[in-house]
Chains A and B, each alone.
Chain A
Amino acid sequence: MAIFKLKINSKEFQVDVDPSTPMLWVLRDHLNLVGTKFGCGIAQCGACTILLNGEAARSCITFVDSVGDKEITTIEGLSENGDHPLQLAWIEHDVPQCGYCQSGQIMNAAGLLKANPHPTDEEIESAMHGNICRCGTYLRIKAAIKTAANS
């Protein structure tokens, strides 16, 4: 066990965990930030996506001892009142079915729009390739990303 200081959603946190603990479980088990989802544990589905210094990362393979002073953003911290352009666009297009993968989809899209504010359809498909939606809401996700990019 070791103590780690983490900056998450603009707040300071301290956790005492094994250094090999993935951020996914630090967030979910130790900090009660359960918006970041467990889907596969091997970075194949994207449900656990967070932002590390603004870049999308899979928290299931991001170990707590590798984070250092990088700033973490989770779905809970993407906006103060749930009014990030992506969140609003997700509501406008009524994207979710079961909803489980959607926080990962939104966080990955947030990383995409930071790097590329006006992606083409092909760029969206390529950037979102690692995020599985088992309910099949891909068309609405794409439409919502385009709406957010234009807002």
Chain B
Amino acid sequence: MTIVKTEFNRRSFIKSSLLTGGGLLIGFNWLASSCITDAPKGLSIPDEWFEITGYLKIGENGVVTIMSPNPEIGQNVKTSMPMIVAEELDVDWKNVLVEQAPFNTIIFNRQLAGGSDSIKQSWPGLRMAGASARNMLIEAAAKKWNVPVKEITTELGILYHKGSGKKAGYGEVASAAAQLSVPKEVELKDLKDFKIIGTSRKNVDGHKIVTGQPLFGLDYKKEGMLIAMIVHPPAFGMKLKSFDATDAKTKPGIKDIFSIKTFNDDYKPQWCDTTSFTELVAIVGNSTWEVMSARAYIKVEWEPFADYKIAMAGWGGDQLVTVPAGLESTADHNAKMVAAAAKPGKIERRDGKPEEAFKNAAKVIERTYTAPFLAHTPMEPMNFFADVTADNAVLVGPIQSPEYMEKTLSARLGLPLEKIDIQMTRMGGGFGRRLYGHFMVEAALISQKMKAPVKLIYSREDEITFGIYRPAYHALYRAALDANNNLTAFHVKMGGVPENALHANRFPAGALDNYLAESWEIESNISVGAMRAPGSNFNAVAEQSFLDELAEAMGKDPIQLRLDLLKRAKENPVGKRNDYDAARYAGVLELVLEKSGWNSNSAVKNRGVAAYFCHSSYVANVVDIVGDKDNPVIQKVYAAIDCGIVVNPDAAINMTEGSIVDGIGQAMYGQMTFSKGQPDQDNFDSYRLIRHAEAPKEIEVHFVQNEINPTGLGEPPYPPVMGALANALYKATGTRYYHQPFVKNKFD
């Protein structure tokens, strides 16, 4: 049993519950009601709720409502986070209702969807929240029965006192427990006593999703609400010159057309602020189709901008960022990347004497890998509801980073943080796109101008051409071999537009005496942002493909090569800054080797392997391909994962399957290209996503069983499958796949 100090106090709960009540009532009619009034599992709704802590309330009949603190983006935290609270509360999951918590930094920590960190970072806090409430219920029962606290036990929402034979449901003491102080320290369960964590529980929104009930930001409505859209520059490198809305204003249902500036001139943008298109034309009307139709009649003139600098507020202080002028094209980017890769880069890490080892090598293998810009394209287009008055602002919609966007909104609207109420809806995907909440600021400014509640909607074209892409990447890998085909040095030089993807201290750093990592970057005015497993989503493909080719040249089995390197990194690591655990890395390779029958299954001829570490978790994949070389079919993908304790196994498998499908799709088909600053793709007819028949026929997921606290899972299973795919495709087609999208090479 672990005893931990609690990190919250009673006072904060009282304050927060007032705030919650006030916030929820303002314009929050359907969301609040759809959360709780229907009891999907046939539970009877209590007559009265007693708030035990900010995380949960208990009804007089024993039904429990647990708040899910973090934004739900499809990673299933709305089910798995409350499961952790319910575990420590020691309640029957059947009696639990889940509500999306309001955004409230007083009660909840890190209400962010990003970095695969929701469960990892909130694990202790969620357990503490459940355990604290359980303690308070025990204390209330002890007082009621006049027995010592220590003699009371709980099981599935019922309190027992063995000595007297007394028992009571949580609901019977909830009213008294709600009056007590939160304990200063609480006991947490032993892992062996878990009844909910580690068992598969279905998505708490499942019924609402399959019956089409309003859940998403785009579904949000308020009486008197207007619909707004924006017009942004058609090309990067352009800005608004002027517009003529005379015609458009005469169209039916149109209320107003005006321009907005998303930042004040002296504002220092933070990481989640997008600076590409900051002056936009807004159109507001009664209904979506009227606004969409009239928008085409706005005549807008754009003009190229000159180079400028922005002071960005960063964690390490302000940073001056240059935005270059120009209308960039993919062909120019590619030429610049080739030129940059030929020059020395910035040295990020050097172990031993790599230059000398390359000079003395019997053989040098050198390969170049590239990947294009990618768009996030979550299925729900960008949107947000805003109702801004002189005194406060209410914002409702899909956002991954409410805590940061609240600061941006506060600065732009001139309202203190406590006057900004952000409510998080379920998100129709995000993949990082909704970390960048410019659409919240736009919606708020439009509402402020209209003095009315407004829902801003992006069309798919608006979103795909707005920017915030995964950067375009380029990597040069070199390996030196001696006369006996032993690996003597390793060199990676990685760059990109406008960012590179290098993780200089990851594997194989630490496993090689002579290692060199360099980076370079090319300035661009095309905006970029985090997309699922940033950087890793390129590294894993390039590095893991290179290792495959290296193994072939060395005459080694590709899994054995990796295991040999990891053995070295574990037993006698080179350097001190290696940011991976070699034993856990090897563990997933050994597991995938076993489960795929790598050494024993002779029936499968075309298979490729890859493994990668990111977001604190380890994943290895084997991809099996069947069919002839002109029509390869991905038959099966194996995944072996070490992400510590798995909270909700079937949901974790679902997310892994999705990551694998996503990875295969991006590597095979994904690309954004540009002509004179203008994106060449703007909707799903030109931006190709993976579809049903292109997904693997079968996916088998295995988790390493251990007692390590949970680590990330939303991102780690995404990168390595792309490398395993490239290696399996090589086996199936005889061709190496160096450049994404792979489909450009062949079999389109």
Binding site for B on A (CB under 8 A): 1, 17-18, 20-22, 25, 28-30, 32-42, 44-45, 47, 74-76, 78, 82, 86-87, 90-91, 94-103, 106, 121-122, 124-126, 128-142
Whether A136 contacts B659 by the Cβ 8 Å rule is yes
B689 at interface (Cβ–Cβ under 8 A)?
Answer: yes
Shortest Cβ distance from residue B297 to the other chain A in the assembled complex, whole angstroms = 14
Shortest Cβ distance from residue B335 to the other chain A in the assembled complex, whole angstroms = 32
Shortest Cβ distance from residue A9 to the other chain B in the assembled complex, whole angstroms = 11
Whether A32 contacts B215 by the Cβ 8 Å rule is no
Binding site for A on B (CB under 8 A): 73-76, 200, 202-203, 205-207, 209-216, 218-219, 221, 227, 252, 287-290, 293, 377-381, 426-431, 457, 459-460, 650-651, 654-655, 657-662, 665, 683-685, 689-693, 695-699
Shortest Cβ distance from residue B689 to the other chain A in the assembled complex, whole angstroms = 5
Whether B381 contacts A21 by the Cβ 8 Å rule is no
Shortest Cβ distance from residue B522 to the other chain A in the assembled complex, whole angstroms = 29
Whether B210 contacts A101 by the Cβ 8 Å rule is no
Whether B657 contacts A25 by the Cβ 8 Å rule is no
Q: Which of A17, A22, A75, A96 contacts B206 (CB 8 A)?
A: A96
Q: Which of B379, B426, B650, B695 contacts A134 (CB 8 A)?
A: B379
Chain B residues within 8 Å of A139, by CB: 657, 661, 695-696, 698-699
- How many angstroms from the CA of A75 to the CA of B357 in the assembled complex? 65
Chain B residues within 8 Å of A36, by CB: 212
Chain A residues within 8 Å of B215, by CB: 99
- How many angstroms from the CA of A1 to the CA of B696 in the assembled complex? 48
**Given the known A-B contacts A18-B289, A39-B460, A134-B377, are A141 and B692 also in contact in the complex, defined by CB atoms under 8 Å?**
yes
- How many angstroms from the CA of A142 to the CA of B431 in the assembled complex? 24
Whether A136 contacts B662 by the Cβ 8 Å rule is yes
User: What are the 6 tightest A-B residue pairs by CB atom distance, in nearest-first order?
Assistant: A35-B212, A100-B428, A136-B661, A98-B74, A75-B212, A136-B658
19 intermolecular pairs with C-beta atoms under 8 Å apart: A18-B290, A25-B288, A25-B289, A44-B683, A45-B684, A74-B212, A75-B212, A99-B426, A99-B428, A102-B210, A106-B210, A129-B692, A134-B377, A134-B689, A136-B660, A137-B654, A137-B657, A137-B658, A141-B692
Whether B460 contacts A41 by the Cβ 8 Å rule is yes
Closest A residue to B253 by beta carbon equals A18
Closest B residue to A88 by beta carbon equals B210
Shortest Cβ distance from residue B384 to the other chain A in the assembled complex, whole angstroms = 15
Q: Which of A44, A97, A128 contacts B692 (CB 8 A)?
A: A128
From B73, B74, B202, B683, residue with most partner A Cβ within 10 Å: B74
- How many angstroms from the CA of A48 to the CA of B134 in the assembled complex? 45
- How many angstroms from the CA of A44 to the CA of B683 in the assembled complex? 8
- How many angstroms from the CA of A22 to the CA of B213 in the assembled complex? 21
Chain B residues within 8 Å of A44, by CB: 683-685
Shortest Cβ distance from residue B652 to the other chain A in the assembled complex, whole angstroms = 11
- How many angstroms from the CA of A34 to the CA of B658 in the assembled complex? 25
Whether A100 contacts B662 by the Cβ 8 Å rule is no
- How many angstroms from the CA of A30 to the CA of B200 in the assembled complex? 39
- How many angstroms from the CA of A140 to the CA of B379 in the assembled complex? 18
Shortest Cβ distance from residue A3 to the other chain B in the assembled complex, whole angstroms = 15
Chain B residues within 8 Å of A99, by CB: 74, 203, 205, 209, 215, 426, 428
- How many angstroms from the CA of A96 to the CA of B426 in the assembled complex? 12
Q: Which of B74, B218, B219, B692 contacts A142 (CB 8 A)?
A: B692
Whether A129 contacts B693 by the Cβ 8 Å rule is yes
Chain A residues within 8 Å of B665, by CB: 136
Chain B residues within 8 Å of A1, by CB: 252
Shortest Cβ distance from residue B119 to the other chain A in the assembled complex, whole angstroms = 15
Shortest Cβ distance from residue B196 to the other chain A in the assembled complex, whole angstroms = 16
Chain A residues within 8 Å of B650, by CB: 94
- How many angstroms from the CA of A36 to the CA of B216 in the assembled complex? 12
- How many angstroms from the CA of A47 to the CA of B665 in the assembled complex? 19
Closest B residue to A30 by beta carbon equals B287
Whether A29 contacts B289 by the Cβ 8 Å rule is yes
Whether A38 contacts B381 by the Cβ 8 Å rule is yes
Shortest Cβ distance from residue B715 to the other chain A in the assembled complex, whole angstroms = 13
Whether B206 contacts A34 by the Cβ 8 Å rule is no
Q: Which of B200, B252, B288, B658 contacts A29 (CB 8 A)?
A: B288
Chain A residues within 8 Å of B289, by CB: 17-18, 20-22, 25, 29
Chain A residues within 8 Å of B227, by CB: 29
Closest B residue to A137 by beta carbon equals B658
- How many angstroms from the CA of A38 to the CA of B383 in the assembled complex? 11
- How many angstroms from the CA of A57 to the CA of B651 in the assembled complex? 31
Closest B residue to A121 by beta carbon equals B697
Q: A37-B379, A82-B210, A94-B200 are in contact. List 14 more A-B contacts (CB 8 A).
A: A18-B252, A29-B288, A29-B289, A33-B212, A36-B212, A40-B684, A94-B651, A94-B654, A98-B429, A99-B209, A131-B691, A132-B379, A138-B690, A142-B692
